[in-house]
Amino acid sequence: MTGEKSTEPLEAPPLQPAPPCTLVIFGATGDLTKRKLFPALYNLASASLLPAELAVVGVGRYEMSSEALRERLKADLESFATGTPDAARSAWLLERLSYVGGEIGDGATYVRLREALDRVEAERGTRGNVLFYLAIPPDLFDDTIHHLAAAGLIEETGRWRRVVIEKPFGHDLDSARELNRQILEVLREQQIYRIDHYLGKETVQNIMAFRFANGIFEPIWNRRYIDHVQITVAETVGVEQRGDYYEKSGALRDMVQNHMFQLLAFTAMEPPISFAADVVRDERVKVLYAVRPLSHEDVLHQTVRGQYGPGLIDGHEVPGYRAEKNVAPASAVETFAALKLYVDNWRWADVPFYLRTGKRLPRRVTEIAIQFKRAPFQLFRGTAVEHLSSNLLVLHIQPDEGITLHFQAKVPGPDMHLGKVKMSFAYADAFGQRPSTGYETLLYDAMTGDSTLFHRSDMVEAGWSVVAPILDVWQALTPRDFPSYAASTWGPAAADELLQKDGRRWRTL
């Protein structure tokens, strides 16, 4: 009818390929590149999301030819691809790959890199746009970025230059502030992409869509209806070959300060006014600023740490943490951490958030469990119902992505009996399973200039501020009970007591 406006939403346009650019990977011969980055690039190519005008330049300390790196990554792709690689698609990506060898601390390496960038720009038409990915140890971040600046490789006249920085971003609050200060001497905040691969997972990104697109959930997403929230990141593996790194890190630095705090932020954030990058990040960082500061006394009562000992996994004996390679025989580093935190704002006042993470636990699982308050029992007095269970909403993040809602329904029959019911939604069943390493979205976003899923400097420092008192107390007091849990168990008994003294318990997984 003339003059009437359609109420149908406009269909979102399909994703377009990223703009012409060169991806420079520092650490091209390392584990991250072969296991995650190159398979992610292949998946992006398969989805037609990479530009035809693409070049990939690997930088590493070893002397080798570009052809040798191509052969190496071709073999790695066969091993680590999320599906069976297509020969033609692999060839398309590999032919765009070249290599620059040299020490990261040597200025001559960056002269050769500049020459390589000029060459691939002329050959591939990349228009001078460059994304530098630092897949290197964190103690080399600052030096690498300043060498890039000294070589004139981060200037943005008529082009863009961006730098992706892997975690860990600092070792504590002071080091994070110092690293921010150092890199901001030569880069603008808009050029810095601090990556957290957890934010590349579909379910993490879907938390906002689930909360804010569904009118039945957002009105009850607050202290009036929610009793508490549990966030679990459990791993079955030990430290494997990362003993050197883990001895300097531990579970709190490795998992809580970054990954788990971002899950907390997405769960507790207020609705942003748009999906613009800084608008979303503003709301996420507000959550971290609102976390109630822990006094040293609070740390003793609201945090638990543990370290795995030997145990059995699938009938095979596995060593304890202190027997792992490159681990001190009397190490006091935690491989398990559990925290009780409060987000002190209007929405979440007095609702506890329980976080736990650990290695050598019985299952590999990441989930967010929203426990609702019980309904009043009065109506069911005089019936066969003895008690009412709480409703539970679980956001499954890995390994199986989906959402589960637990509630109660009447059991058929003449008497009033209640049974527990579970409604499950799986992404793979509803939308199909797309091969993913978790890095595809993040690489594509960095190429297109969308920083929504990346950390900002204030976000990093806010996270470190929350854990600072915990680090202080744990460093000052040597644990007396390490190892405190056997491999393939759910952590130390003190973690169960953390909830039991509040009249709650961890969700059985």
3-state secondary structure at position 94: helix
Q: What is the DSSP letter of 258?
A: I
Cα separations in angstroms, 96 against 69, 113, 114, 140: 12, 15, 17, 27
Assigned token pair, 244: 């050197």
CB 245 within 8 A of CB 238: no
- Core vs surface per residue 323-335: b (16+ CB within 10 A) or e: ebeebeeebbbbb
Residue 495 CA to residue 303 CA, distance in Å, equals: 8
CB 147 within 8 A of CB 177: no
**H or E stretch including 394?**
strand 392-398
Nearest to 95 by CA among 122, 123, 117: 123
CB 291 within 8 A of CB 467: no
Q: If 0-12 CB within 10 Å is exposed, 13-18 middle and 19+ buried, where does residue 300 land?
A: exposed
* Residue 408, strand partner residues: 420
Nearest to 469 by CA among 262, 301, 343: 301
Active-site positions read 259
List of E strands, 261-391: 303-306, 308-309, 311-313, 316-318, 336-342, 352-358, 365-372
Cα separations in angstroms, 263 against 221, 269, 368, 468, 490: 15, 10, 8, 19, 21
Nearest to 67 by CA among 31, 45, 97, 93: 97
CB 441 within 8 A of CB 452: no
Residue 293 CA to residue 299 CA, distance in Å, equals: 10
Residue pointed to by tokens 């709650």: 504
* Residue 54, strand partner residues: 21
DSSP string, 314-345: TTEEE--GGGSTT--TT----SEEEEEEEB-S
Assigned token pair, 1: 């009818």
Please calculate the CA angle 121-125-129 and round it to the nearest 5 degrees. 65
